[in-house]
Structure 1
Amino acid sequence: MLYWTGKDDVFLLIWLPRLIQAVFSSIADIKLYSLVKRMENSNVAKWVYFSQLCSWFTWYCSSRTLTNTMEAVLGTLALYYYPLEGSRTKSSTKYLFFVALAFLVRPTAPILWVPLLLYHFSKEQKKLDLILLHCLPVGLLALGGSVIIDWMYFGEWTVVQWNFLKFNVLQNIGSFYGSHPWHWYMTQGFPVIMGTHLPFFIHGCIVAPRRYRVLLVAIVWTVLIYSTLSHKEFRFIYPVLPLCMIFCEKSENCGNYTNDSVSRLFFNEH
């Protein structure tokens, strides 16, 4: 785009992609706030938003042009439309569309969504309609569009998602860039990206309502599956962070009096 407009100078090449990514990340943060507001109330949503904004790893990644950052953005948008119990923004087609886009951006993205998809399928009364009218059309459209775009770019039929999985998972060539013990995400990776939020997250998991358990299962599942891969990085589990903020809020919002006072302090409520 910059080439076509004659504006492909170094400054714009460096900063424009970061700015665009920051805008996408901001939209995802707003969607997370809106989701919780519709499920709970504005005070609860503000604490989730506050937790998200206080996350050092969110600030570190949100403007970086990493596939994991866009994966986290698309995952949050998908969560906004996911049929969580009590959600008033549910839409099977829309959330599946964002999951499919996340898969195209990074083929390991569906790992997070396996428990959520299975949970949705188990709760859905019209299972055949879900598959035929939502899953198949969205999946075929997304994958077909990706294959056509790659064919136009490479000049031959290529499924880049398969190449990604073959390179990083089946052939395990990613270990060339470093390998870690199986417990690394549990003992170092996850605690580091959570930072000072970790105690609140642990407590929030204990006190959170039952309807949020599926999100906790998705978080644990994702960390465990990524633990089976030899090459590990902090950014790989970044997409679980927005889900973790929901549990952090459950801990922070336990004391009504204290949190009402702090809420007035930070959010200017009088």
Structure 2
Amino acid sequence: CLTATSLLRYARALARAFGPATAGWYILFQATQFHIPFYATRTLPNTFALLLTTEAARAFLPVAADAATWRKRTTKGIYLLVAAGVIFRAEIALLLATQVGYLLLTRRTTLRTVILAGLPAAILSIGISVAVDSAFWLRPVWPELESFIFNVYNGASSEWGVSPWHTYFSSSLPKLLLNPLAIPLIATALYLPATARNAGALVIPQLAFVALYSAQPHKEARFVIYAIPPLTAAAALGASYVWTRRARGVFYRLGSLVLLGGVGVSFLASMGMLFVSALNYPGGEALWMLHQRMNWEEIDVVRVHMDVLSCMTGVSKFQEEQPTKPLWGAGDGSLLIPTAQRTGIEWHYDKTEDEATLRDPAFWEQFDFALMADPSRALGNWKVTEVVWGFAGGLEVLKPGECMMYGRESVASEVLKLAWDYGDVRIATEFLGNYEIFKDAMRRSVTGGWWVGPKMEHKIHIMKRMPPGWTMP
């Protein structure tokens, strides 16, 4: 909701700066992208930073204004970028540098204005970050400074993976923009005399930021997502130029049809990516299934271990059923946080990763359940009660009558056959998951047995610890 609000505010500002046609195309392009709506649903620092950088981009739009008004807009934009960099993501310091550098080079601001805006913003933002984060971490800390020291000064970001220097330009930006016409439209807006100046103000600071940040070995698309609203606006400038001239000749009419087709392609691609992305969170689905199962169990305390893959694929603190805990400053328990438990069960969650600990059989005796990618790593007597499927990568093509999965006859075929024969798909849903049920139903009633879709495989096993002496039947 917050991200959508900031993007709509940016669109309204584009309408005032460049006209309603540009704003309309911006909304079409932005709404049919996949990644910004996707990240908007995630509680990442980048997502919160995007709110501030989009508001800053709104303040920096090249609109006609008197000197005093423009100075206020520039001051606001600098304040927002400083706050975003200090509190949420340190790399925004580069975006601040490129944006301020562009304004100084084009003589749209002065060094005095930059200093008078940036210095108090930095002091205030550091104070807020240190005060709030130190309270949470229970030690004096400025997280983004520690992040900068670890990732940049110590060069430790390479531990998370290394990508070629051109990755952001050759892969990340095209994927984030998604529309196949976005980059040609940006180039068009930069080339045409009628739009070149405004497009340059949108594009140059963002591409300079991406170029500088490309020096960092570890790269992820979310690190440069702040550049997408201004770049999308530049593409909208190019689209608006063609669209508003569609009555002037065949060339512009055909161009307008191509623009609409590009939006359609982008929308379909976004929906496909949304469908596949929903299959990438088996860990979160497994924990949800375990919570649902416990609604019907007569048990007071549940202890569950969650392995690395579970935690990487959807398990989060927001899912946890938290027991009642004292508030800060109430160590005697006199002030309690109300619980949101549906069943009154006391849950204990464990995310131990230490290999030596995980190899100790005594460690596993404390748990009732485990969410495991590899069932053999749970030591002791354990039973797999459910299996959660996830995206295996690539496509699966099935012909009519073919019930083969990855080259082997699958138990899934027999489970589905029994489910449909008896008219009860609940057991199949528990064993296979909703996706496999949907796939089978589509093959039976719509596609005549054919299926082309994402490959799926067992990802997370929900395991229950059994009594001593229990053996697999």
With the shorter chain as reference, the TM-score category is 0.7 to 0.9
| Higher RCO (CA 8 Å, separation ≥ 6 residues) | 1
Q: Provide the residue aligned with 1:25 in structure 2.
A: 3
Deviations 1:81-111 (A, max 9, x none): 2363436975234222321221111111122
C-alpha deviation, 1:129, in angstroms: 5.0
Q: Write 1 or 2 for the structure with the bigger share of helix.
A: 1
Which residue identity does 1:144 align to in structure 2?
G
Q: Provide the residue aligned with 1:161 in structure 2.
A: 144
Q: Provide the residue aligned with 2:206 in structure 1.
A: 219
Paired with 1:170 and 1:116, the residues of 2 have a C-alpha distance of: 23
Paired with 1:170 and 1:97, the residues of 2 have a C-alpha distance of: 25
Q: CA RMSD in A?
A: 2.7
Structure 1 unmatched ranges of 5 or more:
1-22, 266-270
Tell me: CA distance 1:69–1:87, structure 2 relative to 1, closer, same or farther (3 Å). farther
Larger radius of gyration: 2
Cα pair 2:90 2:148 within 8 Å, conserved: yes
Cα pair 1:81 1:94 within 8 Å, conserved: yes
Residue of structure 2 aligned with 1:46, choices 6, 21, 24: 24
Q: Provide the residue aligned with 1:100 in structure 2.
A: 82
C-alpha deviation, 1:75, in angstroms: 0.5
2:156 corresponds to 1:173: yes
Residue of structure 1 aligned with 2:92, choices 94, 109, 115: 109
- Runs of 4+ deviating beyond 6 Å: 259-263
Q: Provide the residue aligned with 1:246 in structure 2.
A: 233
Aligned pair count?
241
Structure 2 unmatched ranges of 5 or more:
261-473
- Secondary structure of the 2:218 match is coil
Q: Provide the residue aligned with 2:165 in structure 1.
A: 182
Paired with 1:70 and 1:105, the residues of 2 have a C-alpha distance of: 7
Query: Pairwise mapping of residues 1-270 of structure 1 onto structure 2 (< 5 A)?
Result: 23-82=1-60, 84-86=62-64, 90=70, 91-103=73-85, 104-121=87-104, 123=107, 127-128=111-112, 130-132=114-116, 134-195=117-178, 196=180, 197-207=182-192, 208-255=195-242, 256-258=244-246
Tell me: CA distance 1:58–1:126, structure 2 relative to 1, closer, same or farther (3 Å). closer
Paired with 1:191 and 1:83, the residues of 2 have a C-alpha distance of: 23
Cα pair 1:75 1:239 within 8 Å, conserved: yes
C-alpha deviation, 1:206, in angstroms: 2.4
Amino-acid identity (%): 21
Q: Write 1 or 2 for the structure with the bigger share of strand.
A: 2
Tell me: CA distance 1:242–1:127, structure 2 relative to 1, closer, same or farther (3 Å). same
Superposition TM-score, scaled by structure 2 size: 0.47
Which residue identity does 1:201 align to in structure 2?
I
Which residue identity does 2:188 align to in structure 1?
H
Tell me: CA distance 1:109–1:126, structure 2 relative to 1, closer, same or farther (3 Å). closer
